[in-house]
A and B are shown apart, each in its own frame.
Chain A
Amino acid sequence: MPFLPVILWSDVLIWLLLVGAIALGVLSARKPLLAAAWRRVGRSRAGMASATLLIAFVVVGLLDSIHYRPRLEHSAGQGAAGSEQQATVYAVEVLSLLDSILSSLRTRNEKTYSEPLATRAHAKESIEVRDADGQLRQSRDYPRLKYGGAHLGADEARRDADIGERVLRATGIALLAWWALAATTAAALARRAGCPHREAWRRIWRNESDFAWNAVLAAIAGLLLLASPLALLAVDYHVFGTDKVGQDVLYQVLKSVRTALVIGLVTTLVMLPLSILLGVIAGYFRGWVDDLIQYLYTTLSSIPGVLLIAAAVLMMQVVIDTHPQWFATAAERADLRLLALCFILGVTSWTGLCRLLRGEALKLRELEYIQAAQAFGVSDLRIIARHILPNLMHIVIIALVMDFSSLVLAEAVLSYVGIGVDPTMISFGTMINNARLELAREPMVWWSLAAAFVFMFTLVLAANLLADAVRDAFDPRLAGSA
């Protein structure tokens, strides 16, 4: 095989979550109340535009969640005879599908800092120049980048024209692609509604359809207009510059997306079963079970979250350091620490939702239809499954979407403090942490920080807007006012 598949634990969980999300979708489609709520979400323009953006992020994250180790090429000197007996050797470096798509970004490393779209390095260096007499001379100048704008050759002055031309070409491609997509959407809608094409088009843009197609199409337009120039420029330039060790910043921010998604999503996987199970049991059975569970969550929530996380991550790091035999690659080690972080974040954050669900379950169990079910002799388990849980779903869904953005923000802070993800794992937090002293440099290096903050802001803003749309649609208290 040309590669050895590597299945990291976080990959498994991410794909499980995708399956879970699809299952939730199928389930909601069959429950009329939930389906109606999701349709309300679908009508929200801000919600759907941000959902489109989030899907783009998720696609990047999913592509980055298929890992493999490429086979090492045998060196030519060993000869053909040797290679047959040799066991195939795989690289220790774990790559992902995203890495192989972005392999040009990943491998074309400069020596050190370079500005976005630059052809020359950021700082002066002693370089040897051949002068008119053909003599080598030392001079201090900005050295030419190895890859940034290399296709221009000696003709560096052409850079601006080249960039302009690429942006124009990319915009053209983006507009064409968008037009094709929008026309297909309109045609599909026209066929489903059985109305003329023009009528479907009008409905989309006059906001008369049941789904906020205009917001989705607008968001896609924005995405295409940003992504296609980026892609076209990234072929020959470092669009967001390079960092201290010369790595492309665009590559780093794209890799950070997966870390953020894992933190934001896998944590809920830890949190949900704990809070649903304990919350419902405490509220439904009351008595000593309730006391015990209340004691448990009061105790846990009275420990300051950061300190609990710090203690747990420190411990985990010691375990990781003392058991190097567990991990075949550095990626697996970093992955375990990421999972440990998710786990401990889940443990510190389930108490809020648990308290909420307990209160709601306490209220529900006194309602007539549940009293009636009890009088009929329906078993407790069945009452919980049939009558209590479905009526708590809206709280769970709201809590899920609300938590995501705060978790993404928390990751950056924790990584800054040194108790976040493994320093070798690319994430928004480690990017900011590595770049925090760069603003003090002369001349200033701003692009790494700016790229990390802008991407993180976009991701969190989209998540917040979607969370609002979901909350408005699912919260029965807001149903009248919104």
Chain B
Amino acid sequence: MLAYLVRRLLYALPILIGVNLITFALFFVVNTPDDMARMQLGVKRVTPEAIERWKAERGYDRPLFINQAASGSAIFTDTIFFTKSVRMFAGDFGRAEDGRDIAREITTRMGPSLAIALPTFILGLLVTVSFALLLTFFRASYLDFWGVVLCVAMMSISGLFYIIGGQYLVSKIWKLVPISGYGGGLDAWKFLILPVVIGVVSGIGSSTRWYRTIFIEEISKDYVRTARAKGLSEVTVLFRHVLRNAMIPILTGVVVVIPLLFMGSLLTESFFGIPGLGSYTIDAINAQDFAVVRAMVFIGSVLYIFGLILTDLSYTFVDPRIRFN
């Protein structure tokens, strides 16, 4: 088990280097650091000296990937790519364009992001799995048919509609909760409840249908027939046998996203004015702040790889036959 974990972690390294390479290629193949400087400085203050100063301040005054002027290992180490990525691995993301420390921003913004994402995730999972079990229980009946129709209709509605419509109905017409904003402490629930409910509702359509397909496939297997034949009730069959055996495909889709919850949701956070990582990313995108976008890409991929490892580990808990060696 330990050997497996170590191997997976070692395998993550080249992937992270690859991720960094891709982001760097994206940033610098089409744009030189000069272009970036010109864009950040604006049209008025662009002089060759200003550009050079901007580049020197931010460490962009080196060659991109290969430093031909240097000797020895410095050919590769004294480059923008090396200096910028090695710092990322050490958790040092540098400063955003407005001069703030990115790592610090990220740690303070993680809380609000999790406060939205975690309840949405758990509630959503509970609601959709229960709906899917309900539809499976009443399979091939009118309830099942119209349930699936409803799911397809719900997944055809744009996520933007759920948010805009929900805000309009609940906050503007019924005036139950504030439209947007965020408060610390116990008052936070007022701001959290609407985004969480909307997040759950907008996920119902596609998830329920997906889980229903898994359950229906499982229910046509031989062991289910055996379970019924020995006289178990349909409810027992569903919960004790089908649900447990359907865990593997469900976990495959679900566990990967758990670490990504830290990243927050771009849409929800920006609509509801929640100062989380999602809105941080959107603001960075709109301000064309490359340092922040690059940091978020890096963190996102670390979390994704972590999620993959977590998924594999979770298999051993639901299926004792799976062993890693």
Chain A residues contacting B39 (CB-CB under 8 Å) are 318
Q: How far is the CB of B63 from chain A (nearest CB, A)?
A: 20
Interface majority SS (helix, strand, loop, mixed), chain B: helix
A311-B26, A311-B297, A318-B39 are known contacts. Are A413 and B305 too (CB-CB below 8 A)?
A: no
The reply to whether A303 and B152 contact each other, CB–CB distance below 8 Å, is no
Check A417 against B282 for contact (C-beta < 8 Å).
yes
B286 adjacent to chain A (CB < 8 Å): yes
Q: Name the one of B19, B27, B160, B282 contacting A303, with C-beta atoms under 8 angstroms.
A: B19
**Do residues A418 and B300 form an inter-chain contact, with CB atoms below 8 A?**
no
Task: Give the docked Cα–Cα distance between A107 and B80 (Å).
Answer: 52
Residues of A within 8 A of B18 (CB): 295-296, 299
Number of A-B contacts (CB under 8 A): 123
**Which B residues touch A418, using CB under 8 A?**
282, 285-286
Q: Is A308 an interface residue (CB 8 A)?
A: yes
Taking CB atoms and an 8 Å cut-off, the chain B residues in 21-74 that contact chain A are: 22-23, 26-27, 30-31, 35, 39
Is B325 engaged at the interface, CB distance under 8 Å to the other chain?
no
Which residues of chain A (391-450) have a CB below 8 Å from chain B?
Answer: 405, 409, 412-413, 416-419, 428, 432, 436, 439-440, 449
CB pair A303 B161 closer than 8 Å: no
A428 to B159, CA, bound (A): 13
Q: Known interface pairs A303-B19, A314-B285. Does A464 touch B304 (Cβ–Cβ under 8 Å)?
A: no
**Is B296's CB under 8 angstroms from A302's CB?**
no
Q: Which of A111-119, A133-141, A185-193, A454-462 is the interface stretch?
A: A454-462
Assembly CA distance A303 to B159 (angstroms): 22
Task: Encode B267-305 as 1/0 by CB contact (under 8 A) with A.
Answer: 100100000000001100110101001101100110011
Which residues of chain B are near A310, meaning CB under 8 Å?
281, 285, 293
A interface footprint on B225-249 (CB within 8 Å = 1, 0 otherwise): 0000000000000000000000000
A469 to chain B minimum Cβ distance, whole angstroms, is: 11
B263 on the interface (CB 8 Å rule)? yes
- Any A CB within 8 A of the CB of B260: yes
* B26, B156, B286: the one within 8 Å of A405 (CB): B156
Shortest distance from the beta carbon of B235 to any chain A beta carbon, whole Å? 23
| Assembly CA distance A299 to B302 (angstroms) | 11
Contact call B161/A413, Cβ cutoff below 8 A:
no
Decide if B15 touches A315 in the complex (CB within 8 Å): no
Query: Is B157 interfacial (CB 8 A cutoff)?
Result: yes
B152:A299 contact, CB within 8 angstroms: no
Contact B160 A412 (CB under 8 A): yes
Q: Are B305 and A302 in contact (CB under 8 A)?
A: yes
Complex-state Cα separation, A302 to B306, whole angstroms = 10
Which of B14, B164, B288 makes the CB contact (< 8 A) with A295? Answer: B14
Question: Are the CB atoms of B152 and A461 closer together than 8 Å?
Answer: yes
Which residue from A439, A456, A468 sits with its C-beta under 8 Å from B164? A439
A300, B286: Cβ atoms closer than 8 Å: no
Q: How many angstroms between the C-alpha atoms of A428 and B305 in the bound complex? A: 34
Nearest A residue (CB) for B217? A477
Whether the Cβ atoms of B220 and A481 lie closer than 8 Å is: yes
Given A303-B301, A311-B293, A440-B172: A453 in contact with B152 (beta carbons within 8 A): no
Does A465 sit at the interface, judged by CB under 8 A? Answer: yes
B153 at the interface (CB under 8 A from A): yes
**Given that A311-B26, A319-B30, A453-B161 are contacting pairs, would A299 and B15 also be in contact in the complex, using a CB cutoff of 8 Å?**
yes
Given the interface contacts A413-B160, A417-B282, A432-B160, does A300 sit within 8 Å of B293 by beta carbon?
no
Are B297 and A460 touching (Cβ within 8 A)? no
Q: Which one of B23, B217, B270 lies within 8 Å of A417 (CB-CB)?
A: B270
* Complex partner residue of A461 from B153, B267, B285, CB under 8 angstroms: B153
Q: Which residues of B contact A457 (CB under 8 A)?
A: 156-158, 161
CB-CB contacts below 8 Å: B169-200 with A? 172
Contact B26 A416, beta carbon cutoff 8 Å:
no
Q: Say whether B27 contacts A449, CB under 8 Å.
A: no
A108 to chain B, nearest CB (A): 28
CB of A312 within 8 A of CB of B26, answer yes
Is A304 an interface position by the 8 A CB rule?
A: yes
Most chain A Cβ neighbours within 10 Å, of B161, B293, B297, B304 = B161
Is A306's beta carbon under 8 Å from chain B? yes
Of the residues B157, B172, B282, B285, contact of A439 by C-beta under 8 Å: B172
B223: Cβ under 8 A from any A Cβ: no
Answer whether residue A325 sits at the interface, using C-beta atoms and an 8 A cutoff.
no
State whether the Cβ of B88 lies closer than 8 Å to any Cβ in chain A. no
In the assembled complex, which residues on chain B have CB atoms less than 8 Å from the CB atom of A461? 152-153, 156
Q: Kindly state whether residue B266 has any CB partner on chain A within 8 Å.
A: yes
Q: Which residues of A contact B281 (CB under 8 A)?
A: 306-307, 310
Which B residues from 120 to 155 make CB contacts under 8 A with A?
Answer: 152-153, 155
CA distance A182 to B24 in the complex (A): 60
The interface residues of chain B lying within 8 Å CB-to-CB of A428 are: 158
Counting chain A CB atoms within 10 Å of each CB, which of B39, B159, B266 scores highest? Answer: B266
Task: Judge if B4 is at the interface, Cβ distance under 8 Å.
Answer: no
Chain B 296-320 interface mask (CB, 8 Å, partner A; 1/0) = 1100110011001000000000000
Shortest Cβ gap from A345 to chain B (Å): 15
Q: Answer whether residue B168 sits at the interface, using C-beta atoms and an 8 A cutoff.
A: yes
Q: Does A86 touch B at the CB level, under 8 Å? A: no
Tell me whether A460 and B266 are in contact (CB under 8 A).
no
**Interface bits A280-319 vs B (CB < 8 Å: 1, else 0):** 0000000000000001101111111011101110111011
Among B73-125, those with CB < 8 Å from A are: none
Contacts beyond the supplied A311-B297, A432-B160, A457-B157: 12 A-B pairs with Cβ under 8 Å: A295-B14, A303-B22, A303-B300, A307-B293, A308-B297, A310-B285, A312-B26, A416-B267, A417-B266, A417-B267, A417-B285, A418-B282
Give B residues with C-beta under 8 Å from A.
Answer: 14-15, 18-19, 22-23, 26-27, 30-31, 35, 39, 152-153, 155-161, 164, 168, 172, 216-217, 220, 260, 263, 266-267, 270, 281-282, 285-286, 288, 290, 293-294, 296-297, 300-301, 304-305, 308
What 7 A-B pairs are tightest by C-beta distance, nearest first? A304-B300, A299-B18, A461-B156, A302-B301, A460-B156, A302-B304, A310-B285
18 sample A-B contacts, Cβ–Cβ < 8 Å, listed by A number:
A296-B18, A299-B18, A299-B22, A304-B297, A304-B300, A311-B293, A314-B293, A318-B31, A319-B31, A416-B267, A417-B266, A436-B160, A436-B164, A439-B168, A439-B172, A460-B158, A461-B156, A464-B155
